[in-house]
Structure 1
Amino acid sequence: MGTVVPYSPELFPENGENGAIVASNRQLDAGALFILKSGGSWLHCGYHLTTAIVAPALLSLPFAFALLGWVGGVLCLTVAGLVTFYSYNLLSMVLEHHAAIGKRQLRFRDMAHDILGPGWGRYFVGPFQLGICYGAVIAGTLLGGQSLKYIYLVSKPNGSMELYHFVIIFGSLTLVMAQMPSFHSLRHINLVSLFLCLAYCACTTAGAIYIGYSKNAPPRDYSITKVGVNRVFGAFNAFSIIATTYGNGIIPEIQATVAPPVTGKMFKGLLICYAVVISSFFSVAISGYWAFGNQSQGLVLSNFIVNNHPLLPKWFLVMTNVFTLVQVIAVVLVYMQPANVVIEQAFADPKKDQFSIRNVVPRLIFRSFSVGVTTTLAAMLPFFGDIMALFGALGCIPLDFILPMVFYNVTFKPSKKSLTY
């Protein structure tokens, strides 16, 4: 059965963290009860959304532009932004509708269960969402390791440490932070994350413009080098990268952190998020592609060093990567939440306190095991750009571009002849 929360005051006692409103133990399993506490405001919602969408994956956008060219790149980035904002708002409207009729849904698989049927939630949406979020954790761990290695090579160009060493170091940092008890408890971390993503995007944009105008500027060619079938596959690769960059497979879980009544709060959060999206995505994509053309690499920061020779002051490169490194920790923590829900549901006891020994010990063991698995896989798969394209094709497109429209049409049943349908 899906997790359906009756929308009545007596079932939402204020006994959570900092007055967080949580549902009765009889209504929720331990995963939803402990992880998805409903105590946040629309501002907190905006912080969570921004961290989930404006992540270091956006540093791959110049590479996507290199596969599409100027017109195709700008067009796809714009259309994807409009479609995702629209689809996330539709998803929010569906969630608000069910909350208003007394059936608040807290998870993506609960929506699929209640709207499309039990099989959809259990065998399609649930596994897809868990897979894409766990994949995002793997990719984030890999990117964190790459950022650490980048800082290392700037200070020691001929250093002997390998990427997997830095992935393990980053995984150790994540292991500590992963013990944060609930999604709502990440709100302050995600506020810092919002400013960090603006900071490293500003640094990346400024760095690309500086290099483009410097005497060491690389030769720029904006032609698409691939031809024939390779050009088609390159375009699909670019579509997947852009879709993944805008992707957010945890809209219901983010809205679940909002204290009732939920009406209108997600929309305000989306406005905050997409203000950051527009300012960061377009600035990085356009400046990076302008500076490096079709030589843009999978992560544009890699273009800032040529043959172990930095094109910018070392302190500037280190600062940019430190911003990226710290923010990616927040991104990893956000995308760990669906897995944490599953862990708590399986091993925690909702009848006991969240911080009782009975619940703390299994949480510590299994979250640590989860982080260990993601760190191992990240160390084994050192190709970030291809990972992002793969996860975009398999997960983000169905969850973010298709299902919200299906949920809306099934829930509100607009006329099949209408423009809305």
Structure 2
Amino acid sequence: MNTITFTQTLIMAENQQPQVIEKNLELDDDGRPRRTGNVWTATTHIITVVVGAGVLALAWAMAQLGWIAGIASILIFASISVFTYSLVADCYRYPDPVLGKRNYTYMQAVKVYLGGTMHVICGLILYGKLAGITVGYTITSATSLAAINKVICVHNKGPDADCRSSYNPYMIGFGTLQLFLSQIPNFHKLTWISTVAAITSFGYVFIAIGLCLSILLPGQGAHTSITGTKIGPELSAADKVWRVCSSMGNIALASTYATVIYDIMDTLRSDPPESKQMKRANIIGVSTMTMIFLLCSCLGYAAFGDQTPGNIFAAFYEPYWIVALGDAFIIIHMIGAYQVMGQPFFRVVEMGANIMWPNSNFINKDYLVKVCGVTINLNLFRLIWRTIFVILATILAMAMPFFNQVLSLLGAIGFGPLVVFFPIQMHIAQRQIKALSLRWCALQSLNCLCMLVSLAAIVASVHEISQNIHKYKIFAYKQ
């Protein structure tokens, strides 16, 4: 299948507008049901999206960077996000940011502002990241399931007992569940799972904060440093550099919601302009997110110092039921989050297949099947391809079950292009900023700097993953 043809035909399908025969107060200017969202609903969406499993790795990132670089990195990444997401908000409509035609997806905005080649590149990065995140979520869920088993084991048998367990059974179990959930045609049928996932994400974050405070308040915190983990017999200078770069990827992952920004904007009412509302929501949401990030990272590092684990929950065993509850919240969140990220990827592949082979019964025909009195809408292509995808994602997770490094890689892949490069290039095209002007040079300098940081984080994450795979036997990782 020709990639450019595929993406071009896909964007044509996305651009199709419903016809409006007569004026209807219940319809918006594009003929779709009237949007009712506002600044506060958009803020809620932003916070819900960014408060995820990546938060649990921030304490480890802080331990590698130290107090000065760690806090500065979180604040800098947040500031860049506020700035570039404001640029993205202005590009929601084309060509005029207030009266222009809506762009319903990030890819669509890139298409109209930057052309077909950038559209293809954006699609590859965007959907590649969505697919990769499902691998990361499988690892996160297995880590939490194994942690629950370990916490209960240590509580019953004591700290000296061998409570290690393989991640493989947990990954297979999680993957099996996702096999069934992934057959649901679209995420609109999974709203209740998404709502529960959002609630549990706040649950485990605040449990982690509370557990760290339970160590710090009695004065039992560990020794910390303004430069982070110390170079010594257990940590070479080279490994320190790799960890610092990987930490940047962890922070980048926690700071991004670029994949859903236009989905959020498409819920906003038109008055005041969507871009104005989104900019306010962006400032409020990212500020709230930054406070939560600083709490998790600073308290975790203060509690455990150089020994801060990759997943902050891995450092706690008592009270075992609270720790287990926090890990259970993570698992519930991952079940819903997997589908939130997976369904758009499923959709784009199936829409592309439908456009390329419109007369194929294998791809387009649905069959009604009754199972235990319940009617199921079965599509053979959806059944086979989604099953293969979930199996492959599970196998990849089993092959490299390394929580921090995989999260760092995913964050690094998305931050430079999606959060910085495309927003800046669209802004330059929209405002017709002259090349080599002062503003153009400043924007491109920021672009180059962030791309270099992303590239360093990608290289470091790949290096860490390769080192771990070399150190541990593939498919036999225990913790």
- With structure 1 as the length reference, what TM-score do the two structures score? 0.81
Question: Does 2:170 align with 1:166?
Answer: yes
| Counterpart pick for 1:251 among 256, 260, 270 | 260
Show the 5 A alignment for 1:211-230.
211-214=215-218, 217=220, 219-222=222-225, 223-226=228-231, 228-230=237-239
Show the 5 A alignment for 1:14-163.
41-42=37-38, 45-46=42-43, 48-98=45-95, 103-122=101-120, 124-157=121-154, 158=162, 161-163=165-167
Q: Which 5+ residue runs of structure 2 have no aligned equivalent? A: 1-7, 155-161, 369-376, 444-479
| Aligned amino acid, residue 182 of structure 1 | N
- Whether the 8 Å contact between 2:114 and 2:425 is mirrored in structure 1 is no
SS at match of 1:357: strand
- Whether the 8 Å contact between 2:17 and 2:30 is mirrored in structure 1 is no
Q: In the superposition, relative to structure 1, how do residues 324 and 5 fare at CA in structure 2: closer, same or farther (>3 Å)?
A: same
| Aligned amino acid, residue 316 of structure 1 | I
- Whether the 8 Å contact between 2:132 and 2:410 is mirrored in structure 1 is yes
Q: In the superposition, relative to structure 1, how do residues 267 and 80 fare at CA in structure 2: closer, same or farther (>3 Å)?
A: same
User: Displacement of 1:267 after TM fit?
Assistant: 3.9
- Whether the 8 Å contact between 1:148 and 1:166 is mirrored in structure 2 is yes
Q: In the superposition, relative to structure 1, how do residues 84 and 372 fare at CA in structure 2: closer, same or farther (>3 Å)?
A: same
Question: Does 2:199 align with 1:200?
Answer: no
Query: Could you report, residue by residue, the CA deviation over 1:59-118 in whole angstroms, capped at 9, with x for unpaired residues?
Result: 110111111100111111011112112212221220134585554323333222222221
Query: Could you report, residue by residue, the CA deviation over 1:256-277 in whole angstroms, capped at 9, with x for unpaired residues?
Result: 7537647245446535643551
| Counterpart pick for 1:326 among 332, 335, 349 | 332
- Whether the 8 Å contact between 2:64 and 2:243 is mirrored in structure 1 is yes
Question: Does 2:405 align with 1:386?
Answer: yes
Q: Which 5+ residue runs of structure 1 have no aligned equivalent? A: 25-32, 305-309
Alignment match, 2:456: none
Alignment match, 1:5: 15
| Counterpart pick for 1:377 among 389, 396, 407 | 396
Q: In the superposition, relative to structure 1, how do residues 268 and 176 fare at CA in structure 2: closer, same or farther (>3 Å)?
A: farther
Question: Aligned partners of 2:113, 2:218: CA distance in 1, in Å?
Answer: 57
- Whether the 8 Å contact between 1:106 and 1:252 is mirrored in structure 2 is no
Alignment match, 1:307: none
Q: In the superposition, relative to structure 1, how do residues 284 and 259 fare at CA in structure 2: closer, same or farther (>3 Å)?
A: closer
- Whether the 8 Å contact between 2:224 and 2:301 is mirrored in structure 1 is no
User: Displacement of 1:156 after TM fit?
Assistant: 2.8
Question: Does 2:402 align with 1:402?
Answer: no
Identical-residue share of aligned pairs (%): 21
Show the 5 A alignment for 1:178-189.
178-185=182-189, 187-189=191-193
Q: In the superposition, relative to structure 1, how do residues 161 and 289 fare at CA in structure 2: closer, same or farther (>3 Å)?
A: closer
| Aligned amino acid, residue 220 of structure 1 | H
- With structure 2 as the length reference, what TM-score do the two structures score? 0.72
Alignment match, 2:282: 270
Aligned residues: 397
Question: Aligned partners of 1:133, 1:324: CA distance in 2, in Å?
Answer: 19
SS at match of 2:92: helix
| Aligned amino acid, residue 320 of structure 2 | K
Question: Does 2:289 align with 1:291?
Answer: no
Q: In the superposition, relative to structure 1, how do residues 319 and 252 fare at CA in structure 2: closer, same or farther (>3 Å)?
A: closer
Q: In the superposition, relative to structure 1, how do residues 391 and 414 fare at CA in structure 2: closer, same or farther (>3 Å)?
A: same
| Aligned amino acid, residue 382 of structure 1 | P
Alignment match, 1:241: 250
Question: Aligned partners of 2:54, 2:278: CA distance in 1, in Å?
Answer: 23
- Whether the 8 Å contact between 1:20 and 1:40 is mirrored in structure 2 is no
Question: Aligned partners of 2:189, 2:28: CA distance in 1, in Å?
Answer: 13
Q: In the superposition, relative to structure 1, how do residues 340 and 86 fare at CA in structure 2: closer, same or farther (>3 Å)?
A: same
Question: Aligned partners of 1:109, 1:183: CA distance in 2, in Å?
Answer: 20
| Aligned amino acid, residue 37 of structure 2 | S
- Whether the 8 Å contact between 1:59 and 1:299 is mirrored in structure 2 is yes
| Aligned amino acid, residue 294 of structure 2 | F
User: Displacement of 1:245 after TM fit?
Assistant: 1.5
User: Displacement of 1:281 after TM fit?
Assistant: 1.2
Alignment match, 2:450: none
Q: In the superposition, relative to structure 1, how do residues 399 and 317 fare at CA in structure 2: closer, same or farther (>3 Å)?
A: same
- Whether the 8 Å contact between 1:168 and 1:375 is mirrored in structure 2 is yes
| Aligned amino acid, residue 392 of structure 2 | V
| Aligned amino acid, residue 285 of structure 1 | S
| Aligned amino acid, residue 56 of structure 1 | A
Q: Which structure has the larger Rg over C-alpha atoms? A: 2
Question: Does 2:355 align with 1:336?
Answer: no
Query: Could you report, residue by residue, the CA deviation over 1:160-181 in whole angstroms, capped at 9, with x for unpaired residues?
Result: 7511111111222323333444
- Whether the 8 Å contact between 2:42 and 2:268 is mirrored in structure 1 is no
- Whether the 8 Å contact between 2:85 and 2:419 is mirrored in structure 1 is yes
User: Displacement of 1:189 after TM fit?
Assistant: 3.7
SS at match of 1:156: helix
- Whether the 8 Å contact between 2:52 and 2:254 is mirrored in structure 1 is yes
| Counterpart pick for 1:366 among 375, 380, 385 | 385
Question: Aligned partners of 2:266, 2:378: CA distance in 1, in Å?
Answer: 21
User: Displacement of 1:285 after TM fit?
Assistant: 0.6
